[in-house]
Amino acid sequence: MSFDLVLFGGTGDLAWRKLMPALFQAFRHGTLPAGGRIIGVARDDLSDAQYRQLMAERAERVEVAKRPNAEEFAQFGAMLHYLRMDLSQPADYERLAALLREREADCVVMYLATAPGLFTSVAEQIGAVGLNGPKTRMVLEKPLGHDLQSNRAINATLASVLSEDQIFRIDHYLGKPSVQNLFALRFGNTLFEPLWRRDTISNIQITIAEDLGVETRGAFYDQTGALRDMVQNHALQLLCAIGMEPPINSSAGAIRDEKLKVLQSLKPWTPESLAQHVVRGRYASGTALGQPVPGYLQEKGVAATSTTETFVALRTEISNWRWAGVPFYIRTGKRLAGRDAHIAINFRPVPHPIFKTPLGAANRLVINLQPRDGLELHLLAQSAAQDQAEPALAPVHLNLDFDQRFGAERVGAYERLLLDVIAGRLNLFVRSDEQEEAWRWVEPILQHWRNDPAGPRSYAAGGWGPSAASAMIARDGHCWSEEM
């Protein structure tokens, strides 16, 4: 199968940090279809040879396991080409069209690794030069819009140029092996699905924590914030994977239909719940990784009067028969105590205890997403050395590390998603109605914050966010994973 992958923003950070390493890994694994052509597009004045040299130099900066040796890059680099384009000039799109029509590949992938503000104009220009035929697929990175209105405007433009099955809205969390195993855990095994409901589950927690600050992305992040950057997309997609009903089959349409139902079932916000169940924070100076670090307002590119949040914790519910009354807690933030993304499924205690157990002890399933990748099942067991006259239980756990179990068979998120785009598989991509429903649910939070003069709560870098996040979950009689 021949393909042309046009990489708009071909010299940018996303291209060389994530996309090129992922494409190279697919090439190394023998899964990248032969006869492919990767065309970098940017405003820099480069030849094909200079572009290959630039990518070879930047490949030296990626993690060691993903670096090609000279022989490997020589073979992979033969696929790389370059076209100088000014994305505001219609004539440059004609040049791109001429280049692509030289060989009429089986599929053409347009990957927009550009500023989101360019999405609509690029899509319109691609349509204007006739590059929107049935073989074309367009990949769009987040954020797709700044709010519900802007998201609808982008989707309307895309729909005027391409059909829905040609649009691949990428969320790299859905490509993570651990998230794939979440679907396998639920729908490929009989063990947990009968327990996956309100009768046996007490609460569910989704944590996406980063120990880094905004680094060099201060100006971008100050226009985005944690809610738009992480909750509206990554966290809600994880919530959908946990909460959705079993689809009728594994097709993209069936999976996306069930995810949409979850988003439509999220409990609507009220003024009272917005005040009690949403916490926003912003990191102040502190210590991270053993080194003193500045606060958010001292970061380069951040406005001194900024009210942008770097932390969000919230409580919601899925209002349906399976989940009614079960709280779902989401938190995400920068400059926290560690880099840790996981989902904790906390089960209810036994209805009639006959053993002595530690206070608050109950079964728990932890799905680790990063940096570890695997499952932990927390149980209670009795030690044989204990006095049998008054037996007591102690916590034990089973730990499945997917990296150790599968080793070299692991496929990275972007590698998987790029191969899916080339193959035309939509299962791991977000449909327009899903995305709009997520924005619709997030919008009241944004409006509430605009009218809230208090602004974000301060928390010291290197901690777990504002104390209000712990107080919020404690009101339900629960606590976050690290507090157990």
The residues annotated with a catalytic role in the active site are 234
What SS3 state is found at 284? Answer: strand
| CA 459 – CA 309 distance, rounded (Å) | 11
| CA 364 – CA 343 distance, rounded (Å) | 10
The crossing angle, in degrees rounded to 10, of helices 432-450 and 236-243 is 120
What SS3 state is found at 190? Answer: coil
DSSP string, 39-92: EEEESS---HHHHHHHHHHHHTTS-GGG---HHHHHHHHTTEEEEE--TT-HHH
Tokens representing 177 are 């092996």
Nearest to 119 by CA among 152, 145, 81, 137: 145
Rg of the chain on CA atoms, in Å: 24
194 touches 469 (CB < 8 A): no
Task: Strands of 383-455 (E only): list them.
Answer: 393-401
Nearest to 35 by CA among 15, 66, 67, 5: 5
Nearest to 331 by CA among 439, 437, 478: 478
Give Cα 357 distance to the centre of its chain. 37
Question: Could you give the C-alpha distances from 195 to 238, 255, 347, 365, 477, in angstroms and in order?
Answer: 19, 21, 9, 11, 21
382 touches 391 (CB < 8 A): yes
416 touches 175 (CB < 8 A): yes
| CA 101 – CA 288 distance, rounded (Å) | 52
| CA 221 – CA 305 distance, rounded (Å) | 14
Q: How many CB atoms lie within 10 A of CB 87?
A: 18
Question: Could you give the C-alpha distances from 116 to 121, 122, 150, 418, in angstroms and in order?
Answer: 10, 10, 11, 19
Tokens representing 103 are 């060989």
